[in-house]
């Protein structure tokens, strides 16, 4: 296994632990976001990587949440 694959494996394992902690309320959403970003930097995972769960982290930036008014 090359170093990039090892880093990816370590990143994914760490994220699984963080998600579990978040699920059982050991950490808050804000803590999870900070820890995920720090973990990605540590293991060299880029912001545009498919392995990052960014779409779950930044809900206010989703299109569905952008408008307060409902469509008629």
What CA–CA distances, in Å, run from 27 to 5, 33, 50, 71?
Answer: 28, 10, 24, 36
What CA–CA distances, in Å, run from 68 to 18, 58, 60, 63, 65?
Answer: 31, 17, 11, 11, 7
Q: Which of 8, 30, 6 is nearest to 18 (CA)?
A: 30
Q: What is the pLDDT of residue 52?
A: 82
Q: What is the pLDDT of residue 71?
A: 57
Q: What is the pLDDT of residue 17?
A: 94
Residues of the chain with pLDDT under 70: 53-72
pTM: 0.70
């Amino acid at each position: 296994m090359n170093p990039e694959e090892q880093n990816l494996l370590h990143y994914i394992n760490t994220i699984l632990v963080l998600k579990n902690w978040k699920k059982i309320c050991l950490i808050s959403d804000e803590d999870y976001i900070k820890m995920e970003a720090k973990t990605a930097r540590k293991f060299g995972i880029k912001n545009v990587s498919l392995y990052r769960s960014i779409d779950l982290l930044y809900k206010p930036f989703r299109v569905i949440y952008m408008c307060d008014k409902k469509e008629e």
